[in-house]
Structure 1
């Protein structure tokens, strides 16, 4: 869901939440919201009622379509030949980065995200480490190993790797 649809959903949800709270207040016997609801939703005032209904129907339709629409996967074209293109999904590269970083001693719970930079591709890595490691040394090791392995597997040169250590945790991951 794109940012526009998320904002639309938030406004749409907030509108209906307020309307239902007002209806509930009227049903509980509080007469004040009744005058507000009567002015807005009274069909005898078409200059307010019909534009509001059209907007609500259009927004509802857009959100419904957005919920059913399957977003296209983001891919990177690795090579092109006479036979066609060779692509790899960004999700596959992120999985590779997470597996490589998790193999480093002392690194736990790794997440990654690719982003575009003027020189090519950048990677954000968030990880947890154990307290017995040197954080700067492990971060540099993660950067070097990820850069080498991504180039080895995909042929993409990574120009920027940002490592963020989210926590220093002595807990070991659960094995299921």
Structure 2
């Protein structure tokens, strides 16, 4: 549940607490039923009251869906064994891919995106390489190392390892002359 949902939930809970307090006071006859009935009769026929009701209905639906969303395990790979299920998140796989890519000779930086495809995983890399390396060789080595590492570590076949060489880094900086 995000921060906006938590704020909405706090306000919603506070309003429901006031409503509950009103019902308790009404049931103990500390508030006159005629006073409540008069207040309700003034609401009848006003579109503003309907708008407030619609807003509360939408908030209720949003909070219900937010609660359901947080309970489900999303973006994971599931391994079944005799002891139960093991869920491996795509973020964990992304971290493994980043580690493997950064330890590849000639790679200066990398951005990784991992998606779950129908047949397996798809990994997309945006890499920055050194100017002294052969780019096709580094790309092929990256693909091979990532494919083998994920297969051996996670036990999942990768469908596709896509490498985009986004930039070729310059390690040296031009020295400025002082005059």
What's the TM-score once normalised by structure 1's chain length? Answer: 0.58
Q: Which residue of structure 2 lines up, in the alignment, with residue 122 of structure 1? A: 122
**How much does 1:54 deviate?**
4.5
The answer to whether structure 1 residue 100 and structure 2 residue 100 are counterparts is yes
Who wins on radius of gyration, i.e. which is larger? Answer: 2
Deviations 1:32-76 (A, max 9, x none): xxxxxxxxxxx9x943x445545555666748x95xx85745321
Q: Which residue of structure 2 lines up, in the alignment, with residue 12 of structure 1? A: none
RMSD: 3.4
The number of equivalent residue pairs is 130
- Which deviates further from its counterpart, 121-130 or 69-78? 69-78
Aligned CA distance change for structure 1 residues 89 and 116 (closer, same or farther; 3 Å): closer
Which residues in structure 2 correspond to 1:149-160 (within 5 Å)?
Answer: 149-160=149-160
**In structure 2, distance between residues paired with 1:99 and 1:115:** 17
**In structure 2, distance between residues paired with 1:131 and 1:121:** 30
Paired residues of 2:143 and 2:163 also in contact (CA < 8 A): yes
Structure 1: runs of 5 or more not aligned: 6-42
**In structure 1, distance between residues paired with 2:50 and 2:170:** 59
**In structure 2, distance between residues paired with 1:51 and 1:113:** 46
Q: Which residue of structure 2 lines up, in the alignment, with residue 76 of structure 1? A: 77
Paired residues of 2:77 and 2:88 also in contact (CA < 8 A): yes
Which residues in structure 2 correspond to 1:19-168 (within 5 Å)?
Answer: 46-47=46-47, 49-54=48-53, 62=62, 72=73, 74-78=75-79, 80-168=80-168
Aligned CA distance change for structure 1 residues 130 and 85 (closer, same or farther; 3 Å): same
